A and B are shown apart, each in its own frame.
Chain A
Amino acid sequence: MVNVKINNLSMKYEKKLIIENFELEILDGELLVLLGASGCGKTSLLKIIAGIIDPEEGTVIFDKEDITKYTPQKRKVGYVPQAQVLFPHMKVEQNISFGLEAHKLSKEEIKERIKWIAEITQIQDLLNRFPSEISGGQKQRVALARALAIKPSLLLLDEPLSSIDASGRESLALTIRRIQKETGITTLYVTHNQEESRLISDRVALMYDGKIQQIGSVIEVDRTPRNYLIAKIMGSSNVWPVEFLETKNGNSLVSTPVGLITLPYEIKRKITGIRIPPSSFKIVYDLSEDDKVIEFIGRIKSIIEKDEENFRIVVDLKDAHLEYFKVDCKKEMLNIESATNKEIQLHVLPSEVILI
């Protein structure tokens, strides 16, 4: 397959730069998830790589070959746009053979290729149907089969799960993951949903302001987000921005939307946010004073059963309007009948507060 390098790419839309000096490398055979909010330029980026739109500036390099000026026809890129656009007037089989005919494969080769890809994508039963006769998830599999049939060097997927109902998403995501691993095709998968990147990515690249802000495995990014915004995009619980920071006599005073937090050490670097993992809290019923812990007071708003032994509760903070904590606790800590709206005290050890 292919190693893709995008260098110094810029793209304007209606006179505004939406992608600026963009750099990205997709490693040979990996599934890279590009995570970013709607309208951040992800789709434009895919179209540039597919050759459908031209960038203002910059190059797209496949292995060592500069393909920036190639037409879509010559790139051999499998492009699956967001809405599963199957050719409505062709049966599923004809949809798949379309690209093969364009590549001038013989009839036998086409037959064989369709058989191969239909098996991998599990659409053997759909070949004789029209797109209007199959479900959304099936359409997506056909679109995938159509793109993969030409054995592209790169697969581009634009929000492939966005129009699939919630129940089918996970299984389709895992199907995509399996097919990608079976075929070994380098894949760029674009989404705004961080859950999908957790499910299927080899690496995840976070994009905003027209650039990649951080790239790495999901676990890496989760553990060491480069800034507050990235932690937020990754969907981490209990993350807050830092409004200001003061260091004095070996202590640090951190101002956040949930109040002033004193940490017993001096912070020497620039921080953008803090995070407190839901499992770091300890619930205390009788209000007490303890110098060594950070205290929060709030009311329990809702209780979610996590598993056999644990609850996750949402606690509305007393002193910070509209802010709340997500807290994990053992079931025996709560009397579920009387817990809702109960005022509780939460204790966190300063060492549990993660600086971002």
Chain B
Amino acid sequence: MHRFIQKKARNFEGLSNKFIISLSIIALISFLLAFFYIPIVRIFQTALSSDSGSGFKVFWETLSDPFNLKFLGFTLLQASLSTVLCLLIGLPVGYFFAKYEFKGRKLIVNLLTIPFVLPPVIVLIGFTVTYGQGGWVNLLWQNITNSSNVLITIDGTVQGIVLAHVFYNLSVIIRLTIPAWRNIDNEQIEVSSTLGVGKGKTFQKIVFPQIKNAIISSSLLVFIYTFNSFAIVMKLGNFNFYTLEVLIYESFDLLKFSEGASLAVIQLVINSLVIILYLVVERKSRKMAEGKEKGLKTARLSFKGKDWKSTVSLSLAIVFVFIVILFSFAPIIAIIVKSFIPKSPGDSPFWGYSQIFTQQKITPLNTNTIRLFGNTLLFATVAAVISLILSVLIVFVLRNRYQSIKKYQRSISESLVSYLIILPMATSSITLGLGLYLNFSGLSSYYNSVWIFIIMSHVLISIPFVTRSILVAYNRIDVELLNVASSLGASRVMVFRKIEFPLIKRGIIVGGIFSFAISLGEFGATYLLARANYETLSIGIYNLLGSQTLQISTAMASVLVLITALCFYLINKFGDIELKV
């Protein structure tokens, strides 16, 4: 009898782990199939079949269309240009913040990251207020030069697009290279110099190989973000310039689904290649950082005891960093200041705010602003909850180290999940939206349930970031903790509840807020899917961009900035933001 009970208990424990994992795998695969893979298959289907019959005809026609080819080239070019510029500015700034210790260093690095989490429409409106035709920079220039010439044109120019992309992505380079700079072992540099090697050669042979992978992987990230840029190019491109993402949307808007789908296929292929390359380099750079204890020798930011040469170069560095900080904050400050400037003298500075918190509908908006706020917050909350649940399941399946150590090998279904989550990372938001539209628009209830698909698109976009936040926390857990816990008699559920969960709690909080912030500002997929009553703040602000007064849109944007900044503050309080996917 005793043995019987033991055996039964043993089976139960083994089964309960298997059961939980199997359930997680089934839940994940069903979600991915329903809201991602089947819609993606629909895109391929639409691309490769058309009413006119022959399968590949539209696909080839789209692919060989000189207009499309030209802008495929432009998409690649602007992404490369933006990446190189981000590198040129971001690398030295990253080094500066890695090398020098001073009061407020961490705060500034954190603040520099804010642009990255801002919604793209905020960037647009901030840029319009700062660098636009009647923007502050140009007004200042006209005052100084006493002429009507403008200093910079961002509408319909490449410089406008690239400048906005640099503003948006600079923090990726800065933040991801700081740890790489800090990881360089100073003693290696010292040994190199005692061996008689010069500074240049030391950099080439000792320093550069150690930061190379971090540079490549952060560059690939910037490349992929700018390659898939939508709102910025749609607005600033002003029908002169398109990215693939905008072209896909335009085709969709003109109901040319086959063309749009064909372009989406091309985009997906390019994205996948870059993402795979990124994952390979990322793994290498992570290996490089492992097991290092000593790091770069940091210095206090001070002019004391420096000769004139060092004083000048340090001053130049500070000026450079200061300009970058100004560049990164100016558009945000401009939005907030602009929202309080009265339309005409004597008006209330709060006019814009009073307008957005009334029930009345503001032309050209499709719905009142209270509804926009409500939608935005509701979608973001629901999307965050779903993303969290799915991400915890993903982490659970990927890190099923508990007892899987017995096998030394991941089961096929676990590996399957780890591969299945790569493709969503490589899918742009317009493509996600298009796939959902193509797959579900046939449903009779589609227009009333479109909010579900908007939320699902937000979930798919934020899952890589949320998963990453939780994984980072999970990877810090020592497997032996779980071994000890189970040898002390704890069941699978108890190990999760009492050990794993408390230790990844911060990662979960960070991931949840991050997902909320992403959903808050998501533009592409929402713009494609949303109809009237289901629009969000981002869409509202975008629709107001063309109107005469920017007061209402800047007021809306200021509120969005405030909420985003609050999210960002909370993320920093509970952990660290993950810019990586």
- Say which one of B266-274, B439-447, B479-487 lies at the interface with A: B479-487
- How many Å from the CB of A74 to the closest CB on chain B? 5
- How many Å from the CB of A87 to the closest CB on chain B? 6
| With known contacts A74-B13, A85-B480, A53–B487 Cβ distance under 8 A | no
Q: Are A98 and B483 in contact (CB under 8 A)?
A: no
Q: Are B486 and A73 in contact (CB under 8 A)?
A: yes
Contact partners of B406 in chain A: CB under 8 A:
52-54
Contact partners of A88 in chain B: CB under 8 A:
503
| Cβ of A65 under 8 Å from chain B | yes
Contact partners of B403 in chain A: CB under 8 A:
71
| Cβ of B546 under 8 Å from chain A | no
- The residue in A50, A79, A98, A101 that gathers the most chain B C-beta atoms within 10 A of its C-beta is A98
Q: Are B10 and A69 in contact (CB under 8 A)?
A: yes
| Cβ of A330 under 8 Å from chain B | no
Q: Are A85 and B484 in contact (CB under 8 A)?
A: yes
Q: Are B483 and A71 in contact (CB under 8 A)?
A: no
Q: Are A102 and B489 in contact (CB under 8 A)?
A: yes
Chain B interface, DSSP helix/strand/loop, else mixed: helix
Residue of B nearest to A12 (CB): B408
Q: Are A98 and B488 in contact (CB under 8 A)?
A: yes
| Cβ of B478 under 8 Å from chain A | yes
How many residues on the A side are at the interface (Cβ–Cβ under 8 A)? Answer: 33
- How many Å from the CB of A109 to the closest CB on chain B? 14
| Cβ of B3 under 8 Å from chain A | yes
Q: Which of A61-107 contact B (CB under 8 A)?
A: 65, 69-81, 83, 85, 87-89, 98-99, 101-103
Q: Are B486 and A52 in contact (CB under 8 A)?
A: yes
Mask for B469-498, Cβ within 8 A of A = 1, else 0? Answer: 000000000101101111111110010001
- The residue in A71, A72, A74, A75 that gathers the most chain B C-beta atoms within 10 A of its C-beta is A71
Q: How far is the CA of A251 from the CA of B244 in the complex (A)?
A: 94
- How many Å from the CB of A66 to the closest CB on chain B? 9
Contact partners of B13 in chain A: CB under 8 A:
71, 73-74
Residue of B nearest to A99 (CB): B488
Contact partners of A102 in chain B: CB under 8 A:
485, 488-491, 494
Q: Which of B1-46 contact A (CB under 8 A)?
A: 3, 6, 9-10, 13-14
Contact partners of B489 in chain A: CB under 8 A:
73-74, 76, 99, 102-103, 150
Q: Are B490 and A73 in contact (CB under 8 A)?
A: yes
- How many Å from the CB of A50 to the closest CB on chain B? 5
- How many Å from the CB of B7 to the closest CB on chain A? 8
Q: Are A99 and B480 in contact (CB under 8 A)?
A: no
Q: How far is the CA of A102 from the CA of B490 in the complex (A)?
A: 5
- How many Å from the CB of A124 to the closest CB on chain B? 21
| Cβ of B502 under 8 Å from chain A | yes
Contact partners of B486 in chain A: CB under 8 A:
51-52, 71-73
Q: How far is the CA of A150 from the CA of B487 in the complex (A)?
A: 10
| With known contacts A47-B483, A98-B498, A83–B478 Cβ distance under 8 A | yes
| Cβ of B405 under 8 Å from chain A | yes
| With known contacts A72-B483, A87-B481, A150–B9 Cβ distance under 8 A | no
Q: Are A81 and B484 in contact (CB under 8 A)?
A: yes
| With known contacts A74-B10, A79-B483, A98–B3 Cβ distance under 8 A | no
| Cβ of B563 under 8 Å from chain A | no
Q: Are A85 and B487 in contact (CB under 8 A)?
A: no
Contact partners of A73 in chain B: CB under 8 A:
9, 13, 486-487, 489-491
Contact partners of A89 in chain B: CB under 8 A:
502-503
Q: How far is the CA of A270 from the CA of B197 in the complex (A)?
A: 58
Q: Which of A65, A81, A101 contacts B483 (CB 8 A)?
A: A81
Residue of B nearest to A158 (CB): B480
Contact partners of B485 in chain A: CB under 8 A:
87, 98, 102
Q: Are B487 and A77 in contact (CB under 8 A)?
A: yes
Q: Which of A92-132 contact B (CB under 8 A)?
A: 98-99, 101-103
Q: List 25 A-B contacts (CB under 8 A).
A: A50-B487, A52-B487, A70-B6, A70-B10, A71-B9, A71-B10, A71-B13, A71-B403, A72-B483, A73-B9, A73-B13, A73-B487, A73-B489, A74-B489, A75-B487, A81-B480, A87-B481, A89-B502, A98-B485, A98-B488, A98-B490, A99-B488, A102-B488, A102-B490, A146-B484
Interface of B toward A, CB cutoff 8 Å: 3, 6, 9-10, 13-14, 403, 405-406, 478, 480-481, 483-491, 494, 498-499, 502-503
